[in-house]
Every structure is written in structure tokens, then in C-alpha cells.
Amino acid sequence: MAMCGFKGAAAECGLYHWPCAFRLENELALITGGGSGLGLAMARALAAAGAQVVLAGRRESLLKQAAESIGPQAHYVVHDVNKLSEARGLVETATREFGPVTVLINNAGTHLKKSAIETTEEEFLKVLTTHVLGAHALSRAVAPEMIHRRSGSILFIASMASLFGLPQVVAYSAAKSAYVGMVRALATELSPHGVRVNAIAPGFIETEMSRKALEGDPARRDRILTRTPMARLGDPDDIGMAAVYLCSAAAKFVTGIVLPVDGGASIGF
């Protein structure tokens, strides 16, 4: 049975030839929030493994710059995941211009740092819409064609907030926890048709956003490093390489999991 990545180089050099199992030739990955941060890191990693990547986001200038930095394997489409009715149109545009979407990475999101008591219903709903409903709409849009081909991979970018309690992020925690339920439910529905569904739960990764957040809060940085057994922040490439694995033939029997990439933070004390 063909799975995400189980084509191209992997097929040519044999199913069990492990270096080829990680190759992604003939795959087209649609990555939301792909213009910066972890989305861009995953796009670079997938492109390095041979995939074509389509970056989706709201800011065209950022997407264009990101695609140019990756090279000819990268493309972009302007899209707002909050416009749920346009999800199918995004997939149709990507398919028409670049080919069938064989990998979807639900990465786009928004963050709200606010106490639970102060978080309004409108703010809560906005976070849930961006993460949960936006990801569901796109997954729903790509799934029929993947089922038809009996091949595909859908990847959700979860969070440490999916695994344990974090203060001041009640809406974000609820949204990322919902990802875990969606991954498991979708995996049970889609995997019999050859479509795998998984998630990555990034730990504390050194990005521009995290650097800004921690530069003025050394106590918080110390708390993070103290509870992380590897005693350092991760690199964006760590998430990119995990995405390559989960979307490749190397993970052809892996579905319904949430993979922490966190230096041990989720099991540390």
C-alpha cells in the first residue's frame, strides 16, 4: 500500500533501504503558517528531503520571501485559515497549480497570553477557530482525494500545552488539547484508507518569538531549562526533521500518535 513518502526514491531503492525511506520525492506538502517560525523550518526540511512545498498564510510578502529562501521547490498561496469556507478553494488552487496535495501540515495558529478569568468568550472563540476549526476545515478538504488515492499524511502541530498545564494560556491550551482528540479520531477514520494522521508536540524551541519572550524574563528561561532534561532549547530544525519522518515511508506504520520533540520536558521534573 502506498503511503506518504512511499514513492519516488523510496520505491526505486526498495522498501527497507532506510536512507531512501526518509525521502519525499513526488510529494506535495501544503503547510499553513509556512512563512516563518516552525512552519518555515518544516518547509525547508521537507524540501531538502525532496518534496515540493506550498506555503499558506496571510502575508504575501512574508510568504514570497520564505519561498525564495527555500528555492524552486517552494511555492505559496495567500490564505487565512479563519475563512473556513475557503479551505476547499485553497486545496483546489494548490492542486491546479502545483499538483495533488499528498501532505497537509496544520501549523497555523494564534496565541493569547491572558489569565483564564480575564479571557473573554470572543477571544477564546477566535483562538479555537484558528486552530481547531481551521485545521478541521483543511483536513476535511484534503481527505477525499487522499482516500481516493489511498495515500496521504496529515500532520498537526500540537504543543506542550497539549500535554500538561501551562498558566495564562487557557484558550491556547484548549485548542492544542483538541488537536490530540482530532488526531486520534481522524486516524481511526482515515487510516483504513491509507491516510495517516499524526501530531508533533514541540517543546521549548529557540525561535525569534521565544527569544523575544525570554530575553526580558531570565527567571522563566531558567525554569524552562531546569525542567528540560537536555537543559537547552530546541532548534526549529528538530521539528522539521520530525515532520520529515512522520510524512515519510519510514513512518508507514505510524498513525494516531503525538510525538513530543521537547528535550524531555514532558517527562522531566
C-alpha cell at 66: 520564505
Residue 58, CA distances (Å) to 84, 108, 115, 169, 225 in order:
14, 10, 28, 23, 33
* Cell numbers at 7, concatenated: 514513492
Three-class DSSP category at 163? coil
Half-sphere exposure of 249 (CA within 13 A, CB side): 28
Q: How far is CA 267 from the centre of its chain?
A: 22
The one-letter amino acid at 143: A
Helices 134-149 & 87-98 angle (0-180, nearest 10): 40
From the candidates 76, 172, 179, 245, give the one annotated as an active-site residue.
172
In contact, 187 and 198? CB cutoff 8 Å: yes
Q: Does the annotation mark 16 as catalytic?
A: no
What whole-number distance in Å separates Cα of residue 29 and Cα of residue 42? 10
CA dist list (Å): 41 to 105, 113, 151: 12, 24, 24
Which uninterrupted H or E stretch holds 59? none
Q: Among 148, 29, 133, 143, which Cα is nearest to 85's? A: 133
Catalytic residues: 172
